[in-house]
């Protein structure tokens, strides 16, 4: 595959569409050294970004959580995304909106004097887990744990929160797995490296309470879909050993969409009727 910095196309950066290969930042960009960056991952279907406004609102909230003064409104972010999608010529695409502190007068931890930037890049991206989307993903159990809300702004979609995700996913892939499952700082089941998780038992759905990790927009969408189907949903703390009794499992996320899970460590799950139904219903919803 072509490297992401060497592609044809246009990227929206600070108000202008520029050539893809010219979308560069300086070595001393603050975000590169101190992770002063937040982002959104979104998907467009049939030329329309799904839940676009909710993503733009969360981008602003994430920036505020990291004390990054973003000088763009929701409407302005929406316009930037629409302009970039149109310029891409794509109908089905992945959308990445990125906010970061650039290079300026500050190069220590503090960065109040440095400019804040906004960019939007769009590209074609298929199934995040490849064949696992149909067959069921295999997950490792991560060594790291999701941190306490007392230690970091856990509800922001912040670049720094993904460091342990990269480490854990690399270790998982080295074992032949698609991803890794995190426990939280208390030992409860939390989420995968870039997706929320759901379990099924006796026709009811159980999903970890999002009190120390990102309450994903896809997660919220799927919970509402389940409730509309009159399926009981339990948002609660789940102990790892409970996974032995669950019958089905799936992941949700903008990139993951709805992906069934076949294995997590020693635990196995069937790709059952409810999992398939939710995956098909979600696909129909995003393309409606």
Catalytic residue among 81, 133, 157, 169: 157
- Contact assessment for residue 197 and residue 243, using Cβ atoms and an 8 Å cutoff: no
CB 239 within 8 A of CB 246: no
Active site residue 157: yes
Beta-carbon-side half-sphere exposure of residue 32 (alpha carbons within 13 Å): 10
132: region left, alpha or beta (phi > 0 left; psi from -120 to 50 alpha)? alpha
Q: 259 vs 23, 115, 120, 129, 249, CA distance in Å? A: 32, 39, 26, 8, 9
In the numeric block, which tokens belong to residue 75?
């409407």
Q: Residue 53 is encoded by which pair of tokens?
A: 């406004």
Radius of gyration of the chain (CA): 19
Residue 278's nearest CA partner among 212, 209, 199 is: 199
Half-sphere exposure of 26 (CA within 13 A, CB side): 11
Q: Which residues have a catalytic role annotated?
A: 157
């Amino acid at each position: 595959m072509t490297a992401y910095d060497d592609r044809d196309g246009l990227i929206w950066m600070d108000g202008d569409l520029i050539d893809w290969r010219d979308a560069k930042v300086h070595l001393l960009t603050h975000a590169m050294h101190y992770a002063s960056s937040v982002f959104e991952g979104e998907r467009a279907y049939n030329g329309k970004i799904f839940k676009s406004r909710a993503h733009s609102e969360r981008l602003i909230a994430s920036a505020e959580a990291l004390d990054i003064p973003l000088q763009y409104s929701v409407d302005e972010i929406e316009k930037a995304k629409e302009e970039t999608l149109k310029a891409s010529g794509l109908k089905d695409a992945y959308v990445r909106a990125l906010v970061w502190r650039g290079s300026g007068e500050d190069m220590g931890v503090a960065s109040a004097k440095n400019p804040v930037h906004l960019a939007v890049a769009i590209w074609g991206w298929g199934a995040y887990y490849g064949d696992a989307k149909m067959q069921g993903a295999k997950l490792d159990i991560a060594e790291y744990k999701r941190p306490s809300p007392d230690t970091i702004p856990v509800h922001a979609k912040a670049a720094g929160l993904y460091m342990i995700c990269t480490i854990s996913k690399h270790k998982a892939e080295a074992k032949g797995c698609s991803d890794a499952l995190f426990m939280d700082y208390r030992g409860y089941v939390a989420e995968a490296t870039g997706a929320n998780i759901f379990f099924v038992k006796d026709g009811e759905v159980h999903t970890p309470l999002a009190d120390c990790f990102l309450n994903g927009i896809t997660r919220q969408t799927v919970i509402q879909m389940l409730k509309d189907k009159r399926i009981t949903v339990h948002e609660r703390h789940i102990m790892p050993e409970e996974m032995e009794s669950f019958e089905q499992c799936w992941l949700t996320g903008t990139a993951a969409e709805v992906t069934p899970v076949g294995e997590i460590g020693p635990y196995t799950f069937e790709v059952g009727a409810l999992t398939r139904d939710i995956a098909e219903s979600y696909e129909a919803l995003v393309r409606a």
